[in-house]
Structure 1
């Protein structure tokens, strides 16, 4: 099988870029060359995860200026959620740069997600296009199927949001009550003159093949449903988790975690973009205090605060000194989850974190914050039965008691719920870590790409 040249252009969010880079590493390990188009700043964040710099290069894309977008902003982690539409408009203005690169290098195929205009370019140049979906198949199935009628130029009504598409294959992975409002984003602007729904569905309709970061063992019925809806080949990569460069957990964290009993520490992180309201942040950290367990919480400062310290409840640091840490910076999540002292992962259920939690042996507590995260949580809690979800009020609020109760229900060795989810989790981990499981998916994916590239 001949090696080929792939161009990648992911959405300007570190979670999307990281997922693309993990796949790029797997492809490069098999001899394929990757041109990974990126703005300058995320190159700095990602270069240490490039395990094959001789085959994976980072051509620079300059993020065009858009009125209202903070000068120099290049990723979603630098802006509030409300400004994502402006960043999408800036990505669309990079179209000429991308087209010039593709014309001059002529890759065999291009992988993208939100740059919905790429197939218009690749068709003219005789290049194959693959839309790489980094969300779960279950989330795509309910939010982004052509059958769902999404209005233009107005938000969806609650009735429209509640509408389950024809043929949708699950009675458990659904949105309930206040959660349907989390789907509001699909009808909101995401770029200049285009909604998120239009952008995402156009990207999937016009590609030569769709690709999803999942496996049939978990989501076969959703993958088949998407393929039928879009009338496209649906290629699967498997989970595609990171293969760490030769680094170790930072000494401070290793020493701190090492001071506790095995499986006793609760770790919490909500990704690079989630920023809580201050009151909800306080409920969260007080919930951890209420567990009586040691904990490490890695979150951004809440709205209205510039530091974590100013956001903490009065007397919190003094009361928890030595037992709990609330940290506002980046941490080595994969390595923390592999530490023997960590016993529970309190997660927002972003898709990358979802896979990391499944591949670990830590108990999982779900506190989803956004649209697809809620559906990912449903997959873990209702379908796979490997996690518990924190109960919320009708307005989406959770209280410290519900958080601490969920954590204690899985950390108590005698808890029926804890025993059940641990047993189910162990079964799924055994499936996902079976020798050859991951590599088999990538090998099949490469074979599918080769057939696609060689189609007339």
Structure 2
């Protein structure tokens, strides 16, 4: 892609080389969307004859309001729908433009998990809905868990460690990071926290370990990537505290860990509702009036699912085991991809 002479990303605070929302704070997402809009002069869209990005610049009228789409529930956590996302268009309008003007709707999910919601979208927009399945990479058994994590996790009893990861797009304030670590500490369990560096960075970017009478039972990494599926598969890990991004949602479902959710961005909120209310395999950490989460609420949610003597923990454990068995037995990883390719070939 050529340099965007008509739009100076650096003036908007977007660093050079930023390509996706994971490269920038969420508050700058609208500027990135504007940059993508203004790049249409440099991009050839030969596979859409007679269509230009300008055709979709202004959302059409006549589609449902957000209140209808969300079944009348407007909350502060869903206010992102009205945020600007490009030049003169909100996030909601951009999504609805695509849904109304497309020929086919493709969704990265499966019928077993979100079938009734996909059916609703198909009937609402009168468009064929094709499902890709979870689109998870095949497990790479040739790469073992990195030695630093393997050795640390091996020190603890099976199912005793709490692993917390909030994904690649959430950049915490320093106080928020500290609140999460304090919440983990209050659980009384060994814990591993992996997040992006806080906005007001701590002194060290290196993983640190906190000493205690039982030895070093707290470990936190700032930035970089960890082998999340392998960590979740380690026998010592018993609980996954997650933002419930789509990839992490599936990895948690296919693990044996208890699940605690701290959603932050739009799709994470919907994913959390699915996991906690529809599938009943997880609990959501209660929000404070500030919109964030207290250390007490974090530790309380973790203890509620880790305790093997509680009805809630046992019910979630049973539901989770049933869903995992059902998903793995249906050949869900590869089967959907093959059907999706076949459906595309028929359309073409």
Range class of TM-score, shorter chain: 0.7 to 0.9
Q: Does the CA contact (< 8 Å) of 2:210 and 2:216 recur in 1?
A: no
The alpha-carbon deviation at position 341 of structure 1 amounts to: 1.4
Q: Are positions 1:305 and 2:191 aligned together?
A: no
CA RMSD of aligned residues (A): 2.5
- What is the TM-score of this pair, normalised by structure 1? 0.67
**Greater Cα shift, 437-446 or 248-257:** 437-446
What SS does the corresponding residue of 2:283 show, helix, strand or coil?
strand
Instruction: State the Cα distance separating 1:333 from its structure 2 match.
Output: 1.1
**Gaps (5+ residues) in structure 2?**
52-61
Q: Tell me the SS of whatever aligns to 1:433.
A: helix
Selected match of 2:85 from 187, 190, 193: 190
Change in CA separation of 1:279 and 1:196 when aligned onto 2, cut-off 3 Å: same
Mapped contact 1:175–1:375 kept (Cα < 8 A): no
Instruction: Report the equivalent of 2:56.
Output: none
The Cα of 1:175 is off from its aligned counterpart by 5.3
1:230 Cα deviation after fit: 1.5
Residue pair 2:174, 2:202 contacting (<8 A) in 1 also:
no
**Is this contact kept in 2: 1:308–1:326, CA < 8 A?**
no
Shift of 1:353: 0.9
Say if 1:301 and 1:308, in contact at 8 Å, map to a contact too: no
Contact persistence 1:213–1:239 (CA under 8 A): yes
Aligned counterparts of 1:164 and 1:435: Cα–Cα separation in 2: 34
The structural deviation recorded for 1:94 is: 2.6
3-state SS in 2 of match to 1:123: coil
Measured after TM superposition, the shift of residue 301 of structure 1 is 2.4
1:121-163 deviation digits (Å, cap 9, x = unpaired): x0328xxxxxxxxxxxxxxxxxxx93115xxxxxxxxxxxxx3
Deviations for 1:390-435, whole angstroms, at most 9, x for unmatched residues?
A: 1222332322121111111111121211100000000100111115
- Could you say if the C-alpha distance between residues 62 and 272 of structure 1 is closer, same or farther in structure 2, counting changes exceeding 3 Å? farther
| SS across alignment from 1:361 | coil
The answer to whether the 8 Å contact 2:211/2:217 transfers is no
1:389 equivalent to 2:247? Answer no
Residues 306 and 204 of structure 1, relative CA distance in 2, 3 Å threshold: farther
Give the conservation status (yes or no) of the 8 Å contact 1:63–1:74: no
Query: Helix, strand or coil for the counterpart of 2:210?
Result: helix
Query: Do structure 1's residue 317 and structure 2's residue 243 form an aligned pair?
Result: no
Q: 2:64 is matched with which residue?
A: 147
Are 1:326 and 2:252 an aligned pair?
no
Aligned to 1:95: 40
Cα distance in 2 for residues equivalent to 1:343 and 1:201: 40
SS at match of 1:364: strand
Does the aligned pair in 1 maintain the 2:187–2:303 contact within 8 Å? yes
Partner residue, 2:150: 254
Q: Name 1:443's counterpart in structure 2.
A: 338
> 2: CA distance between counterparts of 1:304 and 1:426?
40
In the other structure, the counterpart of 2:176 is 280
Residues 25-40 of structure 1 mapped to structure 2, 5 A cutoff: none
**Aligned pair 1:335/2:280, yes or no?**
no
- Residues 358/146 of structure 1: CA separation in 2 closer, same or farther (3 Å cut): farther
Alignment partner of 1:413 out of 301, 304, 308? 308
Stretches of structure 1 that go unaligned for 5 or more consecutive residues are 1-60, 107-121, 126-144, 150-162, 169-173
Q: Kindly indicate whether the alpha-carbon contact (under 8 Å) linking 1:366 and 1:389 is maintained by their aligned counterparts in 2.
A: yes
Shift of 1:322: 1.4
SS in 2 for 1:124: coil
| C-alpha displacement of 1:307 | 4.7
CA contact (8 A) 1:301 1:307 kept: no
Count the aligned residue pairs.
330
Q: Secondary structure at the match of 1:398?
A: coil
What residue in structure 1 maps to residue 160 of structure 2?
A: 264
Shift of 1:446: 1.4
Distance 1:175 1:436, change over 3 A: same
Structure-1 separation of matches of 2:188 and 2:101:
53
1:12-411 superposed matches below 5 A = 61=1, 64=4, 65-66=8-9, 67-68=11-12, 69-99=14-44, 102-103=45-46, 122-124=48-50, 146-148=63-65, 163-165=67-69, 168=71, 180-245=75-140, 246-305=142-201, 307=203, 317-319=210-212, 322-329=216-223, 330-411=225-306
Quote the offset at 1:226 in angstroms: 0.7
CA displacement at 1:280 relative to structure 2: 2.4
Question: Following the alignment from structure 1 to structure 2, what is the Cα–Cα distance between the partners of residues 307 and 76?
Answer: 26
Change (3 A) 1:407 1:175: farther
- Return the alpha-carbon distance in structure 2 between the equivalents of residues 339 and 388 of structure 1: 22
